[in-house]
Amino acid sequence: MDIHRAKQIIASPKEIDVTYHGVSIWMKNCNEQNESVSVYEKANPGNIRVVPAAELEEQV
């Protein structure tokens, strides 16, 4: 996923399905400088981690 699309999804009032290596996640915020996104699994909201935006996939 492009970092700019990640920012759009985070700002969107709609729920947009995104996965990280096949796991459904929520995106918390993003860092444009290193093109990373703070995410957490929907099933485990206490486990926040930073991942490359390029490894996220929007589900359509």
What's the CATH number where 35 sits? 2.30.30
The helix/strand/coil state of 18 is strand
**pLDDT at residue 8 greater than cutoff 90:** yes
pTM of the model: 0.92
**pLDDT at residue 60 greater than cutoff 90:** no
Domain count, the chain: 1
State which residues form the domain around 21. 3-58
The alpha helices in the chain, defined as continuous H runs, are 3-11
Q: Supply the pLDDT for residue 50.
A: 98
Asked if 51 and 40 count as a contact pair (C-beta separation under 8 A), the reply is no
Task: List beta partners, residue 18.
Answer: 25, 58
Q: Supply the pLDDT for residue 19.
A: 97
Nearest-angstrom CA–CA distance, 16 and 32: 20
